[in-house]
Structure 1
Amino acid sequence: MKLKNVENKQRKNPVVTVKQGKLKGAVKKCLDGSPYYSFKGIRYGQPPVGELKFKAPLPVKPWEGIRDAIEHGPVCPQYNLDFIDFVEGSDDCLSLNVYTKSLQPSSKIPVMVYIHGGAFLTGSGNAETFGPEYFLQHDIIVVTMNYRLEALGFLCLDTPEVPGNAGMKDQVLALRWVKENITMFGGDSDNITIFGESGGAASVTFHMLSPMSQGLFNKSIAQSGSCLSCWAIAHKPVERAFRSAKALGMITKDVNELLEYLRSVPAHELTRLAFKTRTQDEKLRGLTMYCTPTIEKKFEGQEQFLTEDPIDLLLAGKVSNVPLLIGHNSAEGIFMVNDHIKRLEIFNKDPSYMVPRDLAITVSKEKLDEFGQRIKQFYFGGKDVTKDDTQAIADFQTDLNFMYQIHRFLHLFQSTAPVFLYNFDYETDLNVVKNVIGLDNVKGACHADDLFYLFHSKKSWKIVEDNDRLKKIVYQITKFWADFAKTGNPTPTKGGIEWRPYTSATKEYLLLSQDMKLSNNLNKERVEFWDKMYADAGKPCIAVSSL
């Protein structure tokens, strides 16, 4: 009887011993009512405050006794784009969450580590948005994380004190913690998949290139993002750091004085600097994403996350040789349509502002103007755009910010491991972002719509709960992802659809929609349009990989 009471107590208050100490979690219920173990707010790094502010994180120190892992840790201070409001959070935000159905080290359950998106300036790994229940039904361990955002995570001064990429190094430290400890949660430390969406997908592809991340994961899933997008990598970050101080009321030309001042600024006041530090050109060109990963200078005695241009690393084959599942939503750009319409007068008068930054900063004014006219002709028939051209605007913004650079990464990715490409085109009540925006006349799935098919949340579950058709769709998509995490193949068993690997010869992809099917040459004409533009600008492009 006593032994049974001990077992019941353990189920109510599960305790796990990791390398750093003991953690007490909680028991939650899966969709079928069976139990799973939840460990939230696990600290993986020391508080990056004071002298550690803006620096690479340090591993958490061991502790005595039992730490509660019941509630989420603080989120990073941020300006929440969904609620258009500040979230104070805390700069002491380096925590992660683990969800598992077994605590037996012998279980060796495949592990999926999710890196949240949010433009590197907003978001968290909290279960309110990224609940694990859909994946747990496939016997997967799910890990989510918080990391430093905006200036706290991506300030760069090109100095040994602040070389940049602190937020990416947070992610690396979290992955190291998972590699070291996940066995105690029933996980297989030799079968870890990293996956992310938007900025999280860019992060995933950065980890595939970074020497700091090698050996920490075995497979990758990149949804709606790539490290090749101009929004994913910082442009003149030191100049932005000085503009940040000026925006906060302090003018200096001394980098040491700058650092001392920024360290003194409360963490929540360092939010929204991406907006406050825009140049005139940036106000008219591209997404407002500027506090992002950067190419670091090398300093003796330090680990660098990224010291070469991602394109150069890809061309040199300096990339993780792991299976990759990559793709995008069919109408990512829906969320940019209304913003584009607000700037119609500018774009119609000077189409060169539709040219992406990475091309705009390298070509002549004459070539820039020519590129702008090409875009206007290809997407809008050479005519001035009106507020009724929503489908064409959505297609343009999709290709500009997401589609082409995902294909470009895919084509330049030199690996012997299998690659699987998808196009997410479901249109149901679960397309929460699209439905909120209200552009029903635009065909396709909007940016971030796929997340509601992958993660359980109170808001989305109300839509799914009594809808058997949506339940089947959610189950199928999460099964693709989970089977890929388990085996490196999203369709390892016979009997259903076979998702065949992408090759440069066949260019096959899976259309994820009500009419699911295998096809090839996704967005062929649109890819070729951008490829010619990059080739004409003297940039490495898709054609390079097929020579």
Structure 2
Amino acid sequence: MTSARILAVVIVAIAALTGCGSGESEHPAVDAPIDVTTTTGTVHGTATDAVRIFRGIRYAQPPIGERRWTVPQPLPTSSANVDATKDGSPCPQTAMIPGTPPKTDEDCLFLNVTTPRKQSPNGALPVMVWWHGGGYTNGSGADYDPQKLADKGNVIVVTVNYRLGIFGYFGLPGLAGSGNFGFADQIASLQWVKANANAFGGDAHNVTVFGQSAGGMSACALLTAPSAAGLFDKAAVMSGSCLLDWHAGGLFPSAPAAKPYTDATTNQASGASAADGLGCAGPGRLACMRAKPAADLIDLNADFSDNLAYGTELLPTDPAQAVEAGHVAHVPILSGGTADEARSFVAGAMRYDPNSVTPQTYPSLLSAAFGNAAPAVADRYPLAKYPSAGLAWASVVTDSAWACPTDRGNRVMAAQTSVYPYEFAEPNPPDVNGVASAGMPTGATHATDLPFLFQLAHKDLLHGDAQHALSDRMIEYWSTFARTGNPNSDRTPNWNPATPDSSTVQRLSSEGAGTVDAAAEHQCQFWSTVR
């Protein structure tokens, strides 16, 4: 099993489980209409007592036939009536749940819009655009139900599909848009939102992009993309720092070192290798690949994880280098991760191969990852300190590959703009990834923060009053940030912005509000000597 598939499993496991807002106007709120005229048609949605929902809205032309592996094309202006009561097809992806077929419909560039049911006629609500995770290879916007976020936060939430895997990040020498098709879809979704936010009662000049995992990495890349200037006003990056850096074995015990992005030359070489493997070579290589049925390509999706390419027209610079150089959009940023990120990935590896992480393999994992520094890492993270080898290895990976790069990225960006750093540290969140099935405590692992902002598979997965109170607090923070660029309100504990010299972050837990020194907690001074 590849590292990309493990990363996808983390998110697909979620799918398998398949008012605190401010900004009120002086004008009384009324039921907003369920028929809305947009630039691409009049959409007819549905409503509950709390929200309006418009599902399956196209935001670009279908990337099928000759439009496979082209940048998304805008839809023509239309006055047609559009049924917006059903989700659009997810983009092509492998079936991660045994016994279910893969998704093969390339006509997948859809988004859903969820708004509060009651709106002030003269109000303009913040718009939050969600880019889902899934290792760049799996997932869809419709997997995340934002009704409680829209209702309690008094915001408009747009959840987006974008091309995945080989369909979204394929490249060839001379192919325009190589390595950027999924990213271009995300940018196209923002263009549609800017054009149509007002029609839904939103403010086209107050758009926040937020994403988690691969969606967070895309949101971070957006901060460094000149092509996106003016399309968004704030960004929330969840478990997706531009500086993430997985050493060998960091995503899966046998996986090579990896980063969230790749250079255009490497991306195009990967595409050429994939084409050769499918019998497509020579001058007709692209036409041959476009003629392949989607089902023939899907098994290669995992090979294009972390293949969002830089050195391209849309993304000229490696986002990590851009952040380090201070070349980021001067917009407010909310950024952080979970306290135990890597447990999801280590548990996935242990389910796949129970012998992959054991007391016997721990020294070899350290050696493969850190070479001559392995003894120092073993001294800092000795097996005797942990109940299991899995927890020891997960702690190593969490600190070195996730938490410390995120802390550094936040402090570097804080020199350029306002950054609000956090760490989700709920001790017993919903086990959305099946971590416990590998014999490991769930902890605040990757993606366990999502049920506090969304319903997954339209289910409330939270346990008890304390977790629901934490959910309310997080919704208040996220929606207030979307409204003002600052997460603080008179209903939540104070959250201080980052500084270049401080690693203090806001701690998000049902056990109480407060702050934590992320660098100290994750031993970042030590890790600065290892890399």
**Please, what TM-score do these two structures have when normalized by structure 2?**
0.83
Distance 1:245 1:386 in 2: 46
Instruction: Choose the corresponding residue for 2:46, options 2, 6, 26.
Output: 26
> Offset at 1:396?
1.6
> Offset at 1:209?
0.5
Distance 2:64 2:440 in 1: 48
Going from structure 1 to structure 2, the CA distance change for 1:420 and 1:294 (only over 3 Å counts) comes to same
Aligned: 1:65 with 2:80: yes
Distance 1:349 1:469 in 2: 41
What corresponds to 2:327 in structure 1?
A: 318
Distance 1:454 1:83 in 2: 28
Distance 1:498 1:11 in 2: 34
Going from structure 1 to structure 2, the CA distance change for 1:234 and 1:272 (only over 3 Å counts) comes to farther
Kept in 2: contact 1:421–1:501 (CA 8 A): yes
Distance 1:496 1:124 in 2: 31
Q: 1:229-283, CA deviations, whole angstroms, 9 ceiling, x for partnerless residues? A: 34311262222213323443x163x3x43322211111233223154x5xxxxxx
Instruction: Choose the corresponding residue for 1:206, options 213, 216, 221.
Output: 221
What corresponds to 1:40 in structure 2?
A: 55
Aligned: 1:394 with 2:403: no
Output the amino acid matched with 1:532: T
DSSP 3-state at the match of 1:468: helix
Kept in 2: contact 1:78–1:89 (CA 8 A): yes
Distance 1:411 1:462 in 2: 33
> Offset at 1:492?
2.6
Output the amino acid matched with 1:337: V
What corresponds to 1:504 in structure 2?
A: 500
For residues 423-442 of structure 1, the aligned pairs below 5 Å read: 423-428=423-428, 430-433=429-432, 437-438=436-437, 442=441
1 or 2 for the larger relative contact order (CA 8 Å, sep ≥6)?
2
Distance 1:452 1:522 in 2: 23
Instruction: Choose the corresponding residue for 2:70, options 55, 59, 81.
Output: 55
Output the amino acid matched with 1:296: G
Distance 1:521 1:322 in 2: 24
Distance 2:52 2:415 in 1: 37
For residues 138-153 of structure 1, the aligned pairs below 5 Å read: 138-153=153-168
Name the count of aligned residue pairs: 479
Going from structure 1 to structure 2, the CA distance change for 1:151 and 1:435 (only over 3 Å counts) comes to closer
Instruction: Choose the corresponding residue for 1:179, options 191, 194, 216.
Output: 194
Structure 1 unaligned segments of length 5 or more: list them: 1-9, 278-288, 298-303, 356-368, 535-547
**Please, what TM-score do these two structures have when normalized by structure 1?**
0.80
What corresponds to 2:372 in structure 1?
A: 370
Q: 1:457-481, CA deviations, whole angstroms, 9 ceiling, x for partnerless residues? A: 35641655xx433322221111111
Aligned: 1:156 with 2:171: yes
Aligned: 1:14 with 2:34: yes
What corresponds to 1:5 in structure 2?
A: none
Considering only CA atoms, is the larger Rg found in Structure 1 or Structure 2? 1
What corresponds to 1:133 in structure 2?
A: 148
Going from structure 1 to structure 2, the CA distance change for 1:129 and 1:138 (only over 3 Å counts) comes to closer
Kept in 1: contact 2:126–2:203 (CA 8 A): yes
> Offset at 1:13?
7.5
What corresponds to 1:284 in structure 2?
A: none
Distance 2:90 2:431 in 1: 23
What corresponds to 1:445 in structure 2?
A: 444
Distance 1:184 1:377 in 2: 59
Aligned: 1:232 with 2:231: no
What corresponds to 1:358 in structure 2?
A: none
Distance 1:89 1:321 in 2: 39
Going from structure 1 to structure 2, the CA distance change for 1:47 and 1:335 (only over 3 Å counts) comes to same
Structure 2 unaligned segments of length 5 or more: list them: 1-29, 245-257
What corresponds to 2:254 in structure 1?
A: none
What corresponds to 1:266 in structure 2?
A: 293
Kept in 1: contact 2:477–2:492 (CA 8 A): no
Kept in 2: contact 1:133–1:455 (CA 8 A): yes
Kept in 1: contact 2:414–2:498 (CA 8 A): no
CA RMSD of aligned residues (A): 2.8
Q: 1:188-215, CA deviations, whole angstroms, 9 ceiling, x for partnerless residues? A: 1111111111111101100100011111
For residues 83-482 of structure 1, the aligned pairs below 5 Å read: 86-101=101-116, 102=118, 106-126=122-142, 128-229=143-244, 230-234=258-262, 236-248=266-278, 250=279, 252=281, 254=282, 256-275=283-302, 290-297=305-312, 304-338=313-347, 339=349, 342-344=355-357, 348-349=363-364, 351-355=366-370, 369-380=371-382, 388-413=388-413, 415-428=415-428, 430-433=429-432, 437-438=436-437, 442=441, 444-458=443-457, 460-461=459-460, 463=462, 467-482=464-479
> Offset at 1:387?
9.0
